[in-house]
Structure 1
Amino acid sequence: MRTDTLKYKYSYNADQADLYQTLVNEQLKYFQRTDPRIRHLEKGTRIQAQLTTKMKKFTTTNTMTVKDIVKNKLFQFETKQPDGEILQTYEFETNKRGKKFLIYSEQNTFNNARNQTNFIFIGMLYKFFYNRGVKKRMQYLDDLAIG
């Protein structure tokens, strides 16, 4: 795994198609809060949102774009910030034993080398909080999909 990528692997209980649809529905709600005209998500769907940066903790205008969407397999979007971009990916995987996982990752790319290096070092500490937050999010989606 790249040093600029954070990753979390979650073993889920819901039906894969239900969990995928729940994930897409939740992302759609998020996009609709910014632009109520959006009716469905597809590759290229884009919004502008006010988000707080991880590193400097200030609010910036960001562009979020759906980069890839493969039904029941993958949902990926990119957040472009003034200092760089974050590629966020939800991907479904089944191991050799048939155990199902939803893998979430964030690949962070910064516009200058200093910020990229700082993130690599801070990322080690941030990983603890990242894992806690992502686990809660995955459990929420799983529970919602089970219904």
Structure 2
Amino acid sequence: MRTDTLRYNYPYQANRAAIYRVLVQEQLAYFQRTDPAIKALSPGTTIKAHLATKMSKKPTRDYMMVKEMIPNERFQLETQQPAGSIIQTFEFTKNRRDKDVLAYSERNVFDNNRSQANFMLFGLLYKFFYNRGVRKRMTYLDHLAQTATN
């Protein structure tokens, strides 16, 4: 794994298509909170967001864009921040035991070497909180997908 990328693999229980559908619905709801005119997501759909940075926790004005949508395979977002960008990817794959997993990753690309080095150091500490937060999010999506198909 790259040093600029955080990754978490979640072994899901629901149907793959149901999880993908719920993931897109949840992301659409997030985009609509910022821009109610958005009716559907497609590659290129963009919003202006106010997000806190991981390292300084200061709110910044960012642009979040749907980068890629491959139904039941991959959903990718890119967030442009003043110091660089974050590429978030949800990807359906298999783990070493050939079990289905939904892998979530965040690739952090910074405009300068100092920020990149700071993130790599901070990333080691952040990984624990990252895993905990992503696990909760994935469990939520999995649960929604299971209840939607029942």
Counterpart of 2:41, as a letter, is L
TM-score (norm 2): 0.95
Q: Distance in 2 between matches of 1:95 and 1:124?
A: 23
Aligned counterpart, 2:123: 123
Counterparts of 1:1-147 in structure 2, within 5 Å, are: 1-95=1-95, 98-147=98-147
Q: Superposition RMSD on alpha carbons, in Å?
A: 1.1
Q: Can you list the C-alpha shifts for 1:68-109, whole angstroms capped at 9, x where unaligned?
A: 000011000000000110000000013576521000000001
Q: Distance in 2 between matches of 1:96 and 1:21?
A: 26
Counterpart of 2:65, as a letter, is T
Q: Distance in 2 between matches of 1:5 and 1:46?
A: 23
Q: Which secondary structure does the structure 2 equivalent of 1:25 belong to?
A: helix
Q: Which secondary structure does the structure 2 equivalent of 1:37 belong to?
A: coil
Unaligned segments of structure 2, at least 5 residues: none
Unaligned segments of structure 1, at least 5 residues: none
TM-score (norm 1): 0.97
Q: Distance in 1 between matches of 2:18 and 2:98?
A: 18
Q: Which secondary structure does the structure 2 equivalent of 1:24 belong to?
A: helix
Counterpart of 2:146, as a letter, is I
Q: Which secondary structure does the structure 2 equivalent of 1:88 belong to?
A: strand
TM-superposed deviation, 1:112: 1.1
Detail structure 1 runs of 4+ shifted over 2 Å in the superposition: 94-98
Counterpart of 1:33, as a letter, is R
Counterpart of 1:28, as a letter, is L
**Identical-pair percentage:** 58
Is 97-106 or 128-137 further displaced after alignment? Answer: 97-106
Counterpart of 1:3, as a letter, is T
